Amino acid sequence: MLKRHRLLFISLLIIVGIAVLLVYTKRPRPVAVVVQEVTHGEVLATITNTRAGTLKACQRARLSPSIGGQIESLPVKEGDRIKAGQLLLEIWNDDLQAQVTLAEHENKRTIALAHEACIIAEAVKREARRQRILRKKKMVSEESVDNTESEAQAKRAVCEAANTSIKVSQSKINVAQAALARTRLTAPFAGRVAEVNGERGEFLTPSPIGVATLPAIDLIDYTCLYVSAPIDEVDAPQIRAQMPARISLDAFAGKTFDGIVRRVAVYVLDLEKQSRTVEIEVSFSNIEDTENMLPGYSADAEVILERRDNVLRIPTVALFERNKVLIFNDDGLLEQRQVATGMSNWSYTEVIDGIKAGEQLVISIEREGVKDGAHAVIENKHD
């Protein structure tokens, strides 16, 4: 009898153990969550571009000669730093140089002839003056005086015509020099050569009207860069020049740069009928920030409308619909809370009520099983 009771007791223990094991193995496993402590800090009201913007240079010139011809001189190469007015490219122009020289020689000859004509005119003028004095003394006839004065006037006219010829010959020099200048490509501003399309001895052909061709020289001023970005037409009326902004670039991940709105377009772009935008330009507050940046980088501009310091804030990614959040409690359970929010942007949202500083906020809300009442363990804790 005692043996039977002992076997029954052992059987009950086994059954209870199996039941406990089944309950333990079938219970929901804790979900791993990422949390962040609720703190005080800065919250900004901002407007961000609807599509990626572009980093541009304040000065960029895609240069080509206005006439065609064979490249005689190409003293620059890609990457060279260039001063304003420096020669970039020259087309063969010996014929035009000869015309300039010819015009200069003709100008010197015209000046000499004009000088001669004016000396003669002055001499005849003095002779006419003497003739008038002699006439008063009745030493010459009136006819002789009239002839001398008429000759003086004629010589004076010749002198004036000769001086006008000097201006004409100088204009011919200017015309020849202008034709010569069209064969020389000079830098309109200081910068760096980004691209060269051509080699010595090759022929350049001017671009036909309405047909875009590669520039002979692409010159960029890297000392002044800005971001051009599209803003939704609904947000555009809130933006004004001189507003503060923040710039971010994919090429410099994790970094933001202070900026300022320098221009807001005065018209709406309707490239996409369902998404009309207004272009804004944002310049860098610190020129040193643009070091090693290249025009053409994709960039985003975040215009700051309002700033609040030292307010209770939470990461915006932690918000559910209808302003709900999940709190990780000390017992490992997740608790859903309703919060009242204030100012918000993509990074942070101001919290007015419903949560306290120091509480652990779940920011991995997209994970499966992360819900109100769920058991959880902390996988990672963000600062």
Which of the four pLDDT bands, split at 50, 70 and 90, describes residue 4? Answer: low
Which has the higher per-residue pLDDT, 335 or 8? 335
Pairing of strands 191-196, 184-186: unpaired
In this prediction, residue 127 carries a pLDDT of 83
State residue 8's pLDDT score: 65
User: 50 or 76: which carries more pLDDT confidence?
Assistant: 76
Question: In what order do the strands lie in the sheet containing 87-91?
Answer: 184-186, 87-91, 69-73, 203-204
In 192-208, which positions are buried (b, 16+ CB within 10 angstroms) versus exposed (e)? bbbebebeeeeebeeee
What is the pLDDT at residue 231?
93
- Mean pLDDT taken over the chain: 88
pLDDT (average), residues 132-152 = 82
Single-letter amino acid code for the residue at 148: T
Judged against a pLDDT cut of 60, whether residue 3 lies above it is answered with no
Which range among 121-135, 263-277, 331-345 has the greatest average pLDDT? 331-345
Give the model's confidence band at 16: pLDDT under 50 very low, under 70 low, under 90 confident, else very high: low
pLDDT of residue 304: 93
Selected residue with higher pLDDT from 196 and 151: 196
Q: Pick the more confident residue, 29 or 343.
A: 343
Q: Which two tokens stand for residue 179?
A: 């034709």
Within 10 A of 233 (CB to CB), how many other CB atoms are there?
Answer: 15
In this predicted structure, the answer to whether residue 140 has a pLDDT above a threshold of 70 is yes
Q: Residue 304 in contact with residue 345, Cβ under 8 Å? A: no
Rg (CA), the chain: 43
Are 322 and 365 a contacting pair, CB within 8 Å?
A: no
CB proximity list for 269: less than 8 A, separation 6 or greater: 230, 276, 277, 278, 279
pLDDT of residue 321: 82
Q: In angstroms, rounded to a whole number, what is the distance separating the alpha carbons of residues 10 and 4? A: 10
Q: Would you say residue 273 has pLDDT above 80?
A: no
Kindly give, in sequence order, each residue whose CB lies less than 8 Å from that of residue 308, ignoring residues fewer than 6 positions away: 42, 43, 44, 342, 343, 350
Residue 28: predicted pLDDT: 62
CB 318 within 8 A of CB 39: no
Task: Tell me the average pLDDT across 147-154.
Answer: 85
Let me know: does 183 contact 66? Beta carbons within 8 Å.
no
Q: What is the pLDDT of residues 17-59, one digit of tens each?
A: 666 555 555 556 788 889 999 999 999 888 998 889 999 999 9
Angle between helices 94-136 and 142-181 (to 10 degrees): 160
- pLDDT tens digits along 223-244: 999 999 999 999 999 999 999 9
pLDDT (tens digit, 9 = 90+) per residue, 290-325?
A: 988 999 999 999 999 999 999 999 999 999 888 999
